[in-house]
Amino acid sequence: MNTRKLLKNHLIKIGFTQFKYNKDYKKWAQEKIKKSNLSKKVIEKYYYYLKQNSIKNKYKLDLNFYNLIAEFDVLYKTLHSFKFKDIVHNGMEITKELTEPTKVLDMGCNIGYLTSFYAKYFPRSNFIGYDKSRYSIDEAKKIYSKLEYPNLDFINDLKKLNNNRFNYIIDTQCLTNVSNRNLRLIVKFIKNKLKPLGKVISISNLPNEKEAEKFIEIFYDNKLFLKEIKPLLLINLNGLQAYTKLIFTENIGIVDYNVKSYFFELRKKMLY
């Protein structure tokens, strides 16, 4: 069985559902939540967050939202089913980069749906998933038993890493959702936790040149240099979606990268 099929089966086992059309997903999601035993208050809060996310430019779903969906499995299964294709697409890109035996930290792992797949796929390696949402980490620990995933741990306090250092530190649409001030602190932490010759792999939804320049600059300020920048395009339930894959290392990489040129080419690809 190929890797993509394995990943899809893994997500389905957790409880996610794949859809081809947005209208089918919406009908299913509404019925699933309607038939659940969630209180009216919880349902209203869930839809409020989603509405704000769709109508407000640069609105970022906060910790309260991720705590909410992690607390009720019907919510995280519903939400992540919408992102099924994105999760598979981005998870495949990460999987291509990892080698084993190795040690990996997954930043912003949510309930560990991808971290657990990597641990299963690379059994001779060790994985730690971190998320600031205690509810997400508590749920992850319930879902993925030590018996089935002996090489996988979850934490919601970075101090628990102690002197651990990693060959790979992964970011899948997490770091672009924090403020620049917090990002500077996080990247400084990442630099200290990276082994020599280690890599930071970030799959980000960078919206434009300005945001991308700021993002890359913060890594450069911490002596982590851009080795690769690559567009990731897919058709999801909303239509054409673009992500950006970035790889940073301690060794000087692309000296003359051009973010404006990158976005110019990316927009051309999205038009055609």
pLDDT tens, position by position, 52-102: 887 766 667 888 999 999 999 999 999 999 999 999 999 999 999 999 999
Strands of the chain (E only): list them.
103-107, 126-130, 152-155, 166-172, 194-204, 225-236, 239-249
Taking residues 209-214, report their average pLDDT. Answer: 94
Report the range of poorest mean pLDDT among 4-8, 33-37, 58-62. 58-62
d(CA 168, CA 104): 5
Find the range with the poorest average confidence among 47-56, 133-142, 189-198, 216-225. 47-56
Is residue 272 predicted with pLDDT exceeding 80? no
CATH class held by domain 99-271: alpha beta
Domain ranges of the chain: 3-82, 99-271
Q: E strands along 159-271, which residues?
A: 166-172, 194-204, 225-236, 239-249
Count of residues in the chain = 272
Residue 232 pLDDT? 96
Find out whether 15 and 73 touch, Cβ atoms under 8 Å: yes
- pLDDT tens column, 220-263: 999 999 999 999 999 999 999 999 999 999 988 777 889 999 99
Instruction: Using alpha carbons, select from 189, 170, 155 the residue that is nearest to residue 114.
Output: 170
Asked if the model's pLDDT at residue 129 lies above 70, the reply is yes
**pTM over 0.85, yes/no:** yes
Task: Name 125's Cβ contacts closer than 8 Å, sequence gap at least 6.
Answer: 98, 100, 101, 102, 103, 104, 118, 119, 151
How far is it, in rounded angstroms, from Cα 205 to Cα 174?
9
Average pLDDT, stretch 133-158? 96
Name 172's bridge partners: 203
pLDDT of residue 57: 61
